[in-house]
Structure 1
Amino acid sequence: MRVSVRRFAAAVAGAFMALAVTGPVAAAEGDEVWSWGRNQYGQLGNGTLNAAGEPVPGPVSLPSGTTVTAVSGGYGFSIALTADGEVLAWGYNDEGQLGDGTYTRTTEPVSVDLPDGVTITAISVGDDHTLALTSEGTVLAWGYNEWGQLGDGSTSDRNTPVLVDLPAGTVVKSISAGSGHSLALTSTGEVLAWGDNDFGQLGDGTTTQRETPVEVTLPAGTTVTEIAGGGDHSLALTATGDVLAWGYNAEGQLGDGTTTRRTTPVTTHIPPGVTVTAIAAASGFISFALTSTGELLAWGDNAYGQLGDGTTTRRTEPIMVHLPAGASVVQVAAGDDHVIALTSGGRIFAWGYNRYGQLGDGSTTNRSEPVEVEQPEGSTIVAIGSGSYHGLAIARAPSTTTTLTAEPGKARTGEAVTFTAEVDCPSGNPTGTVVFTADGDAIGSAALQDGKATLTVTGLPEGRHEIVAAYQGNADCPASTSETVVVTITACDVDPDETPSPDETPSPGETPPPGPAGPPSCRDFLAVTGPDTGLIARTGLVVTLTGALVLLAVVASRRRA
């Protein structure tokens, strides 16, 4: 078991523990997870180990077909929530923090051993433990439990999830894990806390460790809307936009203008006129607040530039992070002395400690102002997370959308039908070929011009046909297939038993005369226009040859007569 250093780390600058924290972000789903930074224990999830770290993002080896909605990390391990309500974990596991029933480290994701029938809706990761909120409003926890941070009434580590012993009737709506303590916000607006309390981070007016949840002593009349657990401090956002803080404060991380620890909540000094919409706290003795204008406030320790204000000066009250012009932050995640922020434009910025490349800018240079993370080309970042010395991001792979239309949707045999495929590719310029199929068989292809490909056919046989357009893709735009479009072909308006009159009967080798004005007749030649006519060309040829043989037979019969 790894020896805990968090208790004595609280007495020196730059704690060794880490906590991934995020502000609320719009529902995000991605089919990729990217990771960067330290990889001593496999926390990057790419199947390798590299203690020196990876300074640019690379892909996590997710199980095929996985869609991820949230990511977070702790000391040497990572956690991901899937769209199915399952949880994946990888990396360090000496205290059971992967929740898979073992103490075996893994360099690729494994499934957390959740109880049968349980659906997880949110995750939060501390230093060596994880919290998971269920769809029923209960809380599961696993991993390290020295201070009772799992909330099950014990101090025993757990390598599979156990239920937090909530007060009877409690429904939890959000969770947040500190380094060695845990927080829960209830449906009635109360805040519960449990685990380590050496510095008053449970907010109950004591410094007594708790193995089951106790209520935080909030100011009278306070309604809390959001919570955030830090290293040894806690934050809460109220319905009136105030930020409350309590616990350890040696670096000013409570933001009340002092360095005095607090065992009950005090008000953070938010600048006048600023509206806070989300909060975050980290174990590196720092705190954050997102504003309604997309700006980011920070306060606390700044030894490595982790406040992002261009200095290394500690701040006991909030200051503005020096974001690039035009950047609007929607999510923030912090590890041990480094910070990652996601903007509304899908760009990632990072600053602070960078020994292991956790800023993702290709270097190991500390930064006191935000620098841009080197993002995977073509992928769209939708959410972020952080571990102690590594970063995480959920991304959507480059994609295209192919849309198919048919005009007309109902036609008679021999009547022309035009198919138009439009390809949208946000990551590049769609070029190349679209292949059209009818009932699974190719009927032709067409080259894209300005994102459109058009094919006209006049030889679809009578009946209902399912048409699909398949874009073949190029280097920047992956292949995609349209939804099925149904085209119905009905019999032409000429009596199929009609026998041509003698004056209409062509001589051998003569082309049959055209039908009357209006829709094509059954006697018209079935044709296809457009490249690669395939099936329809062959169908038209067979019909034409058959018609010619029948015609010759009729002529020969009349001559014999």
Structure 2
Amino acid sequence: MAEHGETQADEEEQVWSWGAGTDGQLGTAKLQDEHLPQLLSLTSLASISMLACGGAHVIALTSVGKVLTWGRGSSGQLGHGDILNTSLPKPVFFFNDYVITQASAGWSHSGFVSDSGCLFTCGNGSFGQLGHGDNMSLTTPAKVSYFFNTSVKMVACGMRHSLVLFAGNQVCGFGSGKRGQLGFSLDRSKSVNLPCVVSGLEDVEVVRISANGDHSAAISADGELFSWGRGFCSGPDVQTPQCLPSSLSFREVALGWNHALLLTVDGEVFKLGNTLNKQPEKNQLQIDSSEALLEKVPDFEEVKVVQIAAGAEHSAAVVESGEVKTWGWGEHGQLGLGNTDDQTNPQLVSLGSIDLRTEGIKVYCGSGFTYAVRRKQELSSSPTSS
């Protein structure tokens, strides 16, 4: 502990993982599921700026510009030039001469955005989800030529499709479009291997995109949510972006395979579903004639949520105090509660003894696994007591 009047050193960063681990995606060097959070060695994971978790692989970006990947590599999604799995974080040497600022992990492909606005993809390309004009898979990242003359801001990778937010706040899609997830006016386009502009967002200032499963979503600068692709809870597929009619203002969306989590600017969490053969219950908000609705996630009434994440069929949230809560499917231990039970309501995950008053936590979900990162923080000089 720092003495009064002294400046406390940077707090150590901590990374935990839990859930499905048989492909090495937990980074523990063990090929097994973990039902409780495992504290990882930080030899290669110091100063993480972001994580992206996919079907069974993970991408980590560090604050000094390094890119590391691990987990399942059977389609080349790790970018190491091979199709091997790796159970420990491994640098992607292809990016040694680049600074990667944002990345996304799909089911078996990966996307990377550089500080100069270039897009790189690798992994499974059998549905055209790499955007190179063919259906080839790549074991080493390659620059997507469509964006040579424009600046890419963000990439989002789903199960078999990709979305890109680029200059002018426009959104492109490529890959499988069987469920409408590409957002084209083409009726049920099976697949597209070159980026095509998503219909209906030309006059929208999009600031965030998201993709998972066969779902796609975007959030505007005004806090509006647009979604398209596979219908939620057996609802009809949506071929082009539809704005969610709501007076709420959203700042974050997290997509699973069958659900979507929405975080409002006020720190409230809602789940997007469909009311087929179901009457709205208390704390549910009817939003349109198609009977889609927002259902407020229970147990967050008295707290403010600061971040959300969604896996295939589980969810996670970080509340203002720094606590992590999880719920949903638990078969692989991805809820971090020490068992494989499913949970309908958010449950507190124990991450050991940390000072929740000063430490920042972020949570990330893969298809059946979860990560939590406590970022390193510089603390100001302690005031001398009187």
Q: Quote the Cα distance in structure 1 between the aligned partners of 2:134 and 2:92.
A: 21
* 3-state DSSP of counterpart to 2:93: coil
1:146 matches 2:146: no
- Please, which of 299, 309, 327 is the counterpart of residue 323 of structure 1? 299
| Contact 1:30–1:68 under 8 Å retained in 2 | no
1:227-283 deviation line (CA, Å, top 9, x unaligned): 11121121111233321111111526xxxxxx221211122243x3x221222222x
Aligned partner of 2:142 in structure 1 is 162
2:48 partner amino acid: V
Q: How does 1:132-143 map to 2 (within 5 A)?
A: 132-143=112-123
Aligned partner of 1:173 in structure 2 is 153
Change (3 A) 1:276 1:401: closer
Q: Quote the Cα distance in structure 2 between the aligned partners of 1:400 and 1:130.
A: 32
Deviates more, 1:150-159 or 1:219-228: 219-228
| Contact 2:77–2:108 under 8 Å retained in 1 | yes
TM-score (norm 1): 0.60
Q: Quote the Cα distance in structure 1 between the aligned partners of 2:120 and 2:12.
A: 24
1:383 matches 2:365: no
Q: Quote the Cα distance in structure 2 between the aligned partners of 1:131 and 1:247.
A: 20
Identify which of structures 1 and 2 has the higher relative contact order when contacts are C-alpha pairs closer than 8 Å and 6+ apart. Answer: 2
Cα offset for 1:91? 1.3
Q: Quote the Cα distance in structure 1 between the aligned partners of 2:177 and 2:295.
A: 28
Aligned partner of 2:86 in structure 1 is 106
Aligned partner of 2:345 in structure 1 is 369
1:224 partner amino acid: V
Cα offset for 1:401? 6.6
Q: Quote the Cα distance in structure 2 between the aligned partners of 1:97 and 1:378.
A: 34
| Contact 2:20–2:332 under 8 Å retained in 1 | yes
1:393 partner amino acid: A
| Contact 1:176–1:227 under 8 Å retained in 2 | yes
| Contact 1:30–1:394 under 8 Å retained in 2 | no
1:40 matches 2:16: no
- Please, which of 261, 264, 269 is the counterpart of residue 291 of structure 1? 264
1:42 partner amino acid: G
Cα offset for 1:354? 0.4
Identity score, percent: 30
| Contact 2:171–2:201 under 8 Å retained in 1 | no
1:202 matches 2:176: no
Cα offset for 1:376? 3.1
Cα offset for 1:385? 0.9
Q: How does 1:279-358 map to 2 (within 5 A)?
A: 279-282=253-256, 284-300=257-273, 316-358=292-334
- Please, which of 194, 208, 215 is the counterpart of residue 197 of structure 2? 215
Aligned partner of 1:558 in structure 2 is none
Aligned partner of 1:231 in structure 2 is 213
User: How large is the Cα RMSD of the aligned pairs?
Assistant: 2.7
Aligned partner of 1:438 in structure 2 is none
1:163 partner amino acid: K
* Gaps in structure 1 of 5+ consecutive residues: 1-28, 253-258, 303-308, 404-421, 425-449, 453-561
Cα offset for 1:111? 0.9
Q: Quote the Cα distance in structure 2 between the aligned partners of 1:391 and 1:318.
A: 25
1:247 matches 2:229: yes
2:216 partner amino acid: S
Q: Quote the Cα distance in structure 1 between the aligned partners of 2:121 and 2:84.
A: 18
2:154 partner amino acid: S
Change (3 A) 1:210 1:113: farther
Change (3 A) 1:141 1:219: closer
Change (3 A) 1:451 1:275: same
TM-score (norm 2): 0.85
| Contact 2:120–2:141 under 8 Å retained in 1 | yes
Q: Quote the Cα distance in structure 1 between the aligned partners of 2:78 and 2:181.
A: 25
Q: Quote the Cα distance in structure 1 between the aligned partners of 2:345 and 2:213.
A: 23
Q: Quote the Cα distance in structure 2 between the aligned partners of 1:262 and 1:401.
A: 48
* 3-state DSSP of counterpart to 2:146: coil
Aligned partner of 1:192 in structure 2 is 172
- Please, which of 241, 251, 274 is the counterpart of residue 277 of structure 1? 251
Aligned partner of 2:56 in structure 1 is 76
> May I ask how many residue pairs the two structures share in their alignment?
359
* 3-state DSSP of counterpart to 1:39: coil
Q: Quote the Cα distance in structure 2 between the aligned partners of 1:146 and 1:65.
A: 31
2:200 partner amino acid: L
1:141-176 deviation line (CA, Å, top 9, x unaligned): 111111111112221211111112324522111221
| Contact 1:70–1:383 under 8 Å retained in 2 | no
| Contact 2:170–2:201 under 8 Å retained in 1 | no
Aligned partner of 2:36 in structure 1 is 56
1:48-80 deviation line (CA, Å, top 9, x unaligned): 111xx2111112334357211111212222221
